[in-house]
Structure 1
Amino acid sequence: MNDVAQAGLDQARYDYDVVVIGGGPSGATAADDLARAGHAVLLLDRAGRIKPCGGAVPPRLLRDFAIPDELVVARVTSARIISPSDRLADMPIDGGFVGMVDREHFDEWLRARAAIDGAARRTGTFQAIERDPDGAAVVVARMADGGVVRLRARAVVGADGARSAVAKQALPRAAEVPCVFAYHEIVRSPAPASGFDGARCDVYYRGTLSPDFYGWVFPHGDTTSVGTGSARKGFSLRGAVGALRDAAGLEGAETVRREGAPIPLRPLRRWDNGRDVIVTGDAAGVVAPASGEGIYYAMLCGRMVADAVAAFLATDDARALRAARKRFMAANGMVFWVLGMLQRFWYSSDRRRERFVTMCRDPDVQRLTWEAYMNKRLVRARPGAHVRIFLKDLAHLVGLVSA
């Protein structure tokens, strides 16, 4: 914390300009950006928790957020899509790759970078936001040693994941957002001689593995993430992952760890309380439908939230906080809508999943899918390809094309 910032805080009787609650990719990014801008920031995070995640990141994330190559534990150059009847659609990435990161090390590196850039770090669990007599926010947290602290802040950023405790307290109807529950097992990757391809992601569309999502086998170098998710109550995720390991030939692989957590299905309608609290990342619901991709969108959201908080700190105008959601949805709302429509229709039955996997064999579909993924935007530069895809999609919808 610089001397000017500290003097300002002492004069105003604040402990920090901003308390960021949660140190995942979104919270760590927001804390880092705000600290580098000269604000006094506390990053409060729980210890020992790793989110279940396939770990896929696009090249754009590596560029935009200055991620070093050593954090990329594998470079995937193709995907294999598997239908309910075991039909395959191989999707090579022409001239590109999907980076794979291990969240245990990736998240900690982001938190450490925020600290290097000036953010204070403390380990503890958020309890509540109270108010001083003058109305200022006071973050109450139980620390790792069991003690309780109260921290007065000009702004609070809730980055504490799906079903965020910050969102539930500060935002109306935040608890109503539906979630998929994801579960994965990190296993030791087999030797290449076994036939295992460490440069390929496998995605299983099969109702027995998930009635409304998909199963994945994503290589992370020495380890591999094997997981699935579902919003259906009573569906056995552990049983499905066991079946997925059998299908992928990983039933005998050593299990390194197991993790599970909810993943939100859509962005919250409002991210801020109109006063001094705003949420980001999973707490804001920014996970892409259909794919479940969250790391890039979480970090982008964290950056936009940091910009909005900085504007609020500069002006004391709480309306500045609204800009984060407006900017994010302007950039990504159409992508989320398209992916949501895709998930609701194509993931609804094994018959439709068969047709979906057939579509994934199409060169136009593959090219536009990878271009959109690499650049994180809908591709508008190939109108002919879009027309062909529309006509093929329509033919599948009305049953003119066999699966």
Structure 2
Amino acid sequence: MAELETFDVVVVGGGPAGATAATDLARHGRSVLLLDKAGRIKPCGGAVPPRLIRDFEIPDHLICAHITSARIISPTDRHVDMPIDGGFVGMVNRDVFDEWLRERARDAGAVRRSGSFEDIQRESDGTAVVLYRPKGAAPDSPPERVRARTIIGADGANSTVARHHVPDAGRAPFVFAYHEIIRTPTKAEAPNFDGTRCDVYYRGTLSPDFYGWIFPHGDTTSIGTGSMHKGFSLREAVGELRRAAGLEHAETLRHEGAPIPLRPLKRWDNGRDIVLAGDAAGVVAPASGEGIFYAMTGGRVAAEAVQTFLVTGDATSLKLARKHFMADHGRVFWVLEKMQNYWYSNDKRRERFVSICGDRDVQQITWDAYMNKRLVRSRPFAHARIFFKNIAHLTGLVPA
């Protein structure tokens, strides 16, 4: 039999997490195989904060829109505008963005292959062998096989690598997201539409536990919603959202749906040679559903953990990926989960939540935390004011 190809790392999944991990490890001089299903586009609002653009060196040509404000809409159609003072949130198209990331990995030295991951087997000495079916291969043909010193599972929310090869990883709660990409209307076609503003709808009929969104992408716009409730019709909700926004007649270019995890898994490694990253590890922020920054950060810490393991041979190094990620972002995830569980539970609370969003202290701290990906501790008096305002809203001392 022919000798199997051997790689230092096989990365399963070429989304932002997998592509980032592959790029970082290839730049370390590691032999990397990046295995990805071709043609899949994840439903995603596409927002990227300034810190992501800086940390991951994203070129300007990938930013298809600059968002300078958000409009929050309550169940009773109250509007609260949240301008971004002196900054912007970038928007990317995932088909273009993800492919650019994969090409960057190839330019760094990674080997790119299109195919479907099937399984991991073990040789007599315990070395992992990754089985995959190349794109276009006959269904009855045998899978391709490559040997791997380590494996990064970045194969999405329903990760096969996680389910079959990372014991005790647990299961994250899921929001199933659905969006429709429309051709961006002209001002005459939709007078209330603003291509520099994201609109976020908190309304039980649009989502009983999440939110609906309208996110401009230049020539196109993403309109979507999500929910954990089985049986809730996301398509009908998006249709209602389009009517509410005056976009029901806009041309629909495509639509996509997929599960989105909302809690990091309890374990990201198998204690041997596998570590998870991105949606496979559950790193999508609760309440907001933001995933691109956390996916790329998860890919980077996974790459760092794998690099340490390849240098030292100590498999406990793989635990560093989760440890370092949670040290930096675990508190934010905890706060956002509590916020979602409380404020998104019924329309009365949603109404009060939107009212709180009109407060300037809340807006400034929210944007600072989002843009820089950290909890803001530098303004204690603002935090104190927000605390007492929250108490007033929770107790009903102020009108919604």
Question: Structure 2 length as normaliser, TM-score?
Answer: 0.97
Asked if the contact 1:163–1:175 (Cα under 8 Å) also holds between the matched residues in 2, the reply is no
Q: 2:146 aligns with which of 148, 151, 154?
A: 151
* Cα distance in 2 between the residues matched to 1:281 and 1:176: 14
Question: What amino acid is the match of 2:195?
Answer: G
Whether 1:139 aligns to 2:136 is no
For the pair 1:372 / 2:363, whether they are aligned, the reply is: no
In structure 2, what is the Cα distance between the partners aligned to 1:25 and 1:101? 12
Structure 2 gaps of 5+ residues are: none
Contact 1:139–1:150 (CA under 8 A) maintained in structure 2: yes
The amino acid that maps onto 2:159 is: S
CA deviation vs aligned residue, 1:60-83 (integer Å, no higher than 9, x gap)? 100100000000000000000000
Count of paired positions = 393
1-side partners of 2:122 and 2:224: how far apart?
Answer: 42
Q: Describe the superposition over 1:305-341 as per-residue Cα deviations: whole angstroms up to 9, x where unpaired.
A: 0000000011111011001100000000110011111
SS state at 1:79 partner? strand
SS of residue matched to 2:185: coil
Q: Which amino acid aligns with 1:274?
A: G
Match of 1:130 in 2: 121
Cα displacement string for residues 152-196 of structure 1 (whole angstroms, at most 9, x for unaligned residues) = 000000000001000001122446322110000000000134322
In structure 1, how many angstroms separate the alpha carbons of the residues matched to 2:171 and 2:14? 24
- Partners of 1:301 and 1:127 in 2: CA distance: 23
User: 2:279 is matched with which residue?
Assistant: 282
| Mapped partners of 1:174, 1:47: distance in 2 | 27
For 1:28, what is the secondary structure of its paired residue? helix
Q: CA deviation at 1:116?
A: 0.6
State how far apart, in whole Å, the 2-side matches of 1:172 and 1:13 are.
Answer: 27
Post-superposition offset of 1:401: 1.1
User: 1: CA distance between counterparts of 2:301 and 2:118?
Assistant: 25
CA drift of 1:13 comes to 6.9
Report the equivalent of 2:52.
Answer: 61
1:249 corresponds to 2:246 = yes
Report the counterpart of residue 107 of structure 2 in structure 1: 116
Partner of 1:231: 228
Q: Is the 8 A contact 2:170 2:265 kept in 1?
A: no
Asked whether the equivalents of residues 19 and 42 of structure 1 are also in contact (C-alpha less than 8 Å), the reply is: yes
Residue aligned with 2:354, SS: helix
Question: Which of 177, 181, 195 is the matching residue for 2:176?
Answer: 181
Would you say 1:216 and 2:208 are equivalent positions?
no
2:41 corresponding residue in structure 1 = 50
Provide the residue aligned with 2:204 in structure 1: 207
SS at match of 1:176: coil
1:142 and 1:178 map into 2 onto residues whose CA distance is 30
Cα separation, 2, equivalents of 1:174 and 1:309: 18
CA contact 1:82–1:88 (8 Å) conserved in 2: yes
Residue in 2 aligned with 1:33? 24
Amino acid at match of 1:109: W
Deviation string 1:275-330 (CA, Å, 9 cap, x unpaired) is 00111000000000000000000001100100000000111110110011000000
Contact 1:192 1:198 in 2 (8 A): no
Measure, in 1, the Cα distance between the counterparts of 2:37 and 2:5.
23
Among candidates 76, 87, 90, match of residue 67 of structure 2 = 76
CA–CA distance in 2 between the matches of 1:104 and 1:252? 24
**1:381 aligned residue:** 378
For residue 6 of structure 1, what is the aligned residue in structure 2? none
What do residues 82-105 of structure 1 show as CA deviations (whole Å, max 9, x unaligned)? 000000110000001110000010
Tell me which moved more, 142-151 or 378-387: 142-151
Query: After the TM superposition, which parts of structure 1 deviate over 6 Å for at least 4 consecutive aligned residues?
Result: none
Once structures 1 and 2 are overlaid, which stretch shifts more, 205-214 or 140-149?
140-149
Alpha-carbon distance, 1:14 to partner: 5.6
AA of the residue aligned to 1:19: V
Q: Residue 294 of structure 1 is aligned with which of 291, 296, 305?
A: 291
Paired-residue identity, %: 68
Preserved CA contact (<8 Å) 1:51 1:259: yes
TM-score normalised by L of structure 1: 0.96
Match of 2:185 among 165, 184, 190: 190
Contact 1:33/1:306 (CA < 8 Å) preserved in 2? yes
Counterpart CA distance in 2 for 1:238 and 1:175 is: 30
Residues in 2 aligned to 1:394 and 1:198: alpha-carbon distance in whole angstroms: 35
- Counterparts of 1:383 and 1:180, CA distance in 2: 34
Deviations 1:131-167 (A, max 9, x none): 0111001111011131510110000000000010000
Please tell me the residue identity of whatever aligns with 2:25: L
Q: Give 1:20's aligned amino acid.
A: V
Q: Quote the residue 2:15 is aligned against.
A: 24
Structure 1 Cα separation of the partners of residues 45 and 4 of structure 2: 43
Alpha-carbon distance in structure 2 between the residues aligned to 1:53 and 1:13: 38
Matched, 1:402 2:399: yes
Tell me if structure 1 keeps the 8 A contact 2:283–2:298: yes
Structure-2 separation of matches of 1:332 and 1:14: 37
Q: Is the 2:4–2:146 Cα contact (8 Å) retained in structure 1?
A: no
Question: Secondary structure at the residue paired with 1:16?
Answer: strand
Which amino acid is 1:85 matched to?
T
